[in-house]
Amino acid sequence: MPDRLQPMDASFLSAETPTTPMHVGGVAVLEPSEDGLDVAVLRRRVEQRIPLVPRFRQRVRSLPAGLGPPVWVDDARFDLAYHVRRTGLPTPGTDAQFRTLVGRLISGQLDRSRPLWELYLVEGLSRGRVAVVTKSHPALVDGASGVDLLHVLLDDSPATADAVTPVWRPAPEPGPTELVLDAAVDLVRHPTHVVGAVKAGVRGAGRLLGTGTGLLMSARPAPTSPLNADPGRQRRFACARTDLDRYRRLRSSGTVNDVVLATVAGALRQWMLYRGTPLRSDSVLRALVPTSVRGGPPAAFGGDVGASVATSLIDLPIGEPNPTVRLTQIAYAMRAHAEPGRRVGADALVRLSGFAPATLNAMAARAASGLSRRLFNLVVTNAPGPQRPLYVAGARLREIYPVVPLAAGQSIAIGVTSYDGQVYFGLNADWDAVPDVDVLAGLLAESIDELTEAMV
């Protein structure tokens, strides 16, 4: 019989709405080789690699009348042409046009009647570049597969030979009666499975929400902010790129992640002032910040060593004018939330997960959807990646931007990842609530400049 969805997966799916689609994504900008990269080549590469993530050929099926948890079944009508699509810009497309297109692509919900992922090849970018935009539901990304599809498309060399594509035949789908009977028999034979599933869900929620040292110890509401508005159906996307060495030079006052958060805090401060929002010296914005820790379930990041995610609520001191003091306050707050000996460093996380920022972002999305909207103002994730060039079907990966979904009551989310000497920020924002998200993205570079000047 097919696998059942875990309790957290099932509740996560049921809570999703057209205004809060919870898929995570990525925007990969590629420089094709002389042979080019078209949709036929990309589909062939996906067809070769998708056996590594078999869940990506399965869809979710509900039981009649909700008589049991939904199950994963092979999609008998699986069509790679539906999931791997081609779109483009009028050549040569501008960066602004590309960002608008990305916002449109990430806005819509995934089709529940099909496997919960989509991949778009975007042609027509300037300087001969192309892009791959991915959308994957967290139930896929941090479930049995452990990684996003983009993760398994990446190679260390442009000269990777085509592999033999195995023939795939979907398993016969059980009928409604079979599913109900199997659920009933399982309940009779193993009544403790129900209790165990509930306990597992609670334990999983505890890991994600950092019950040991973080969130449940802090019940005070987040400060009122223009960032907290119910999102609509449309999104805007913005991005920024900065030099990783600059963050490394400043980590003597904290970790690289602390410097990233201080950079975000400085940009948010200037953005609020640009908007005319009054700030006091004690003004803060509360960020939901996931951090990888040791001791979680095996292969949570697709590796052999267990890892999990503890999520902290960190007050970003946007009212503090001194960038050095902002960094000191953030580093202190992060240390207060860290369990001694359990934090996983950037190098260890890369070894565990390869290059899968979508995994961390999927877990952050779960935590955000499970918390009251009154407890935080925005989500900020930071997933380190490898510092070497990677390739997709011979095309060199030049830029990679994460896309973190918006939870109910949130109008902006910031995903961060590092790759090949650069730090990449992806900003996902509600179309109506944050029409000036490009301004905030531009202020991120100014913020790290300000911090560097203050500390050098």
d(CA 245, CA 456) in angstroms, rounded, equals 14
d(CA 86, CA 98) in angstroms, rounded, equals 14
Beta-ladder partners of 239:
426
**How does pLDDT run across 364-376, given as a tens digit for each residue?**
787 777 777 788 9
d(CA 426, CA 241) in angstroms, rounded, equals 9
d(CA 316, CA 75) in angstroms, rounded, equals 45
Helix axes 357-370, 191-209, angle to 10 degrees: 100
**How does pLDDT run across 162-213, given as a tens digit for each residue?**
667 778 999 988 877 777 777 666 665 655 444 444 444 444 444 444 433 3
In this predicted structure, what is the pLDDT of residue 415? 95
d(CA 329, CA 323) in angstroms, rounded, equals 10
Residues 406-415 as b/e (b if ≥16 CB within 10 A, e otherwise) read bbbbbbbbbb
For residue 155, give the 3-state DSSP assignment.
strand
**How does pLDDT run across 390-433, given as a tens digit for each residue?**
999 999 999 999 999 998 899 999 999 999 999 999 999 999 99
In this predicted structure, what is the pLDDT of residue 14? 83
Question: In terms of Cα–Cα distance, which of 249, 300, 16 is closest to 143?
Answer: 300
d(CA 122, CA 93) in angstroms, rounded, equals 10
Question: In terms of Cα–Cα distance, which of 394, 397, 398 is closest to 158?
Answer: 394
d(CA 370, CA 205) in angstroms, rounded, equals 8
Read off the pLDDT of each residue in 431-449 and give the average, rounded to a whole number: 97
d(CA 5, CA 56) in angstroms, rounded, equals 14
pLDDT band at 147 (very low <50, low <70, confident <90, very high): low
d(CA 364, CA 374) in angstroms, rounded, equals 16
Q: What is the 3-state secondary structure (H, E, C) of 365-396?
A: HHHHHHCCHHHCCEEEEEEECCCCCCEECCEE
Q: Which range, 8-17, 51-60, 189-198, 234-243, is most confident?
A: 234-243
Q: Is residue 357 predicted with pLDDT exceeding 80? A: no
The least confident of 112-126, 182-196, 242-256, 419-433 is 182-196
Q: Is residue 299 predicted with pLDDT exceeding 60? A: no
Residues 368-381 as b/e (b if ≥16 CB within 10 A, e otherwise) read bbbbebebbbbbbb
**Neighbour tally for 11: CB within 10 Å:** 16
Q: Are 228 and 304 in contact (CB under 8 A)?
A: no
Beta-ladder partners of 73:
59
d(CA 48, CA 40) in angstroms, rounded, equals 12
Give the contacts of 426 (CB within 8 A, at least 6 positions apart). Answer: 26, 27, 237, 239, 401, 402, 403, 404, 414, 415, 416, 417
Question: In terms of Cα–Cα distance, which of 131, 143, 58, 49 is closest to 97?
Answer: 131
Structural domains of the chain in order of their starting residue, each with its CATH number: 199-385+411-455 (3.30.559)
Biggest CA-to-CA distance, the chain: 70
Cis status of the peptide bond prior to 223, with omega within 30 of 0? no
Instruction: Please list the helix, strand and coil fractions of the chain in percent, rounded to the nearest 5, in that order.
Output: 40, 25, 35
**Helix or strand holding residue 209 (H, E):** helix 191-209
